[in-house]
Amino acid sequence: MAAATEVEAVDFDSDDDDLMDEDGAIEPSPAPAPRLRSTIAGGGGGADDAPRKTKGRGFREDPNSSSAPRDSRLAGVGRSGFDALASDGGPGPVRSIEGWIVLVTGVHEEAQEEDLHNIFGGFGQVKNLHLNLDRRTGFVKGYALIEYENFEEAQVAIKESDGTDLLSQIISVDWAFSNGPVKRRNTRKRSPRPNRSRSPPRRRY
Amino acid sequence: MATVGGATNGACGEDEFYLRYYVGHKGKFGHEFLEFEFRPDGKLRYANNSNYKNDTMIRKEVFVSPSILREARRIIQDSDIMKEDDSNWPEPDRVGRQELEIVMGNEHISFTTSKIGSLVDVQTSNDPEGLRIFYYLVQDLKCFVFSLINLHFKIKPIQS
């Protein structure tokens, strides 16, 4: 597990760095492709905790070949980076292009858009509402995404409606997007080895 | 069905999570594909490429909140996809290929199959039950990601 975490960290960080640079101006040094099946699963052989169970053709196909099409796509090697809106990389919510997006979960499968408008319209004008359906059942999938124009409206909506109920189900309400990565406080918790290993500590910024 | 997941400890939580979906094919408009992934640190990446009428690749990324990751996990968990296996699913072919890779808890799946045109393809396959789960899960995940990308960037993702 520890080994896998290190490999993975290198992977992801190098990509982050690419994005911090000028867009595509500097050709990023060829970072290892995020071939999950080898970095997370394959590398975990030495871990002492339960080995990860793997399943699927993805593990049987030419594990060492770099010709698999997947390697070149999201990895960003040799191409310009991904578009992203401005963010300071810190914690906390980030603004979307036209406003602030709030996620509602625990939404009752029979909820209607109107129910959500009734609640969330009270905190500000709902500029956009996505209440997606389960493709198999046709009922509400269980979440909604709501757009407010202003930060304050979204913030109040979260504060006031998180943990309240809608059609006798408790809903959770939170920001949808974030300025920076999730803090992985416990990634190494399960590693039996002390953390002072060969690799330097991760430094993000 | 054997206890595939043993303790499917994902239910409780915040442990490792990774999701990647790819669908695409190579044809006269080049390599046309749609791909997205959620990384453990919350980075959502989305890429959509077609050379049709000289379209260029769309590549977007944004960090999502832990709540979004949790909802993605929930959708996956509820689908029971982790109990399935792609060994009897149609092999990818000239029409196209789909890949679904998920790491959750101590389970890691990396499924590959052909494109699925409709439920008829599902019914006539050698594993209709498993493939149906895949078929609907993929649609639900796409729907989730398209909403996120659409709301954040105001672009309309095109199904490939």
Residues A71, B155: Cα–Cα separation, whole Å: 25
CB–CB of B46/B151 below 8 Å?
Answer: no
A143 alpha carbon, distance to own chain's centre: 16
Residues linked to residue A103 through DSSP beta bridges, in sequence order:
A145, A174
pLDDT tens digits, one per residue of A136-158? 999 999 999 999 999 999 999 99
Residues linked to residue B18 through DSSP beta bridges, in sequence order:
B103
Contacts of A45 (CB under 8 A, 6+ apart): A51
Is the pLDDT confidence value at A42 over 50?
Answer: no
Residues A204, A180: Cα–Cα separation, whole Å: 10
Which of B46, B70, B108 is best to mutate for the A interface (most A CBs within 10 A)? Answer: B108
Q: Are strands B30-38 and B17-27 parallel, antiparallel or unpaired?
A: antiparallel
Residues A116, A107: Cα–Cα separation, whole Å: 9
Which of A52, A61, A135 has the CB atom closest to B106's CB atom?
A: A52
Which of B5, B31, B35 has the CB atom closest to A74's CB atom?
A: B35
Which of A37, A97, A184 has the CB atom closest to B152's CB atom?
A: A97
- Smallest CA–CA distance, residue B53 to chain A, in Å, is 21
State the pLDDT confidence band at B81, using cuts at 50, 70 and 90.
very high
Which of B84, B107, B152, B159 is best to mutate for the A interface (most A CBs within 10 A)? Answer: B152
Q: Do B63 and A87 touch (CB under 8 A)?
A: yes
**Over the Cα atoms of chain B, what is R_g?**
16
pLDDT tens digits, one per residue of B9-64? 334 445 789 999 999 999 988 999 999 999 999 999 999 998 777 778 899 999 99
Q: Do B136 and A135 touch (CB under 8 A)?
A: yes
CB–CB of B138/A84 below 8 Å?
Answer: no
Whole-model pTM: value is 0.77
Q: Which is nearest to A116 in space by CA: A85, A147, A90?
A: A147
What pLDDT does residue B4 have? 38
Residue carrying the six token digits 């640079």? A21
- Smallest CA–CA distance, residue A198 to chain B, in Å, is 22
The residue in chain B having the minimum alpha-carbon distance to the alpha carbon of residue A147 is B151
Q: Do B139 and A37 touch (CB under 8 A)?
A: no
Residues B45, B63: Cα–Cα separation, whole Å: 9
Chain A positions touching B64 (Cβ under 8 A) are: 176-178
Residues A58, A54: Cα–Cα separation, whole Å: 9
What pLDDT does residue A201 have? 56
Residues B152, B159: Cα–Cα separation, whole Å: 18
Is the pLDDT confidence value at A31 over 80?
Answer: no
pLDDT tens digits, one per residue of A94-151? 999 999 999 999 999 999 999 999 999 999 999 999 999 999 999 999 999 999 999 9
ipTM confidence: 0.88
Q: Do A186 and B153 touch (CB under 8 A)?
A: no
State the pLDDT confidence band at B90, using cuts at 50, 70 and 90.
very high
pLDDT tens digits, one per residue of A51-67? 789 999 999 875 444 33
Q: Do A182 and B37 touch (CB under 8 A)?
A: no
**Can you read off the two tokens belonging to residue A120?**
């969330």
Q: Are strands A172-175 and B43-49 parallel, antiparallel or unpaired?
A: unpaired
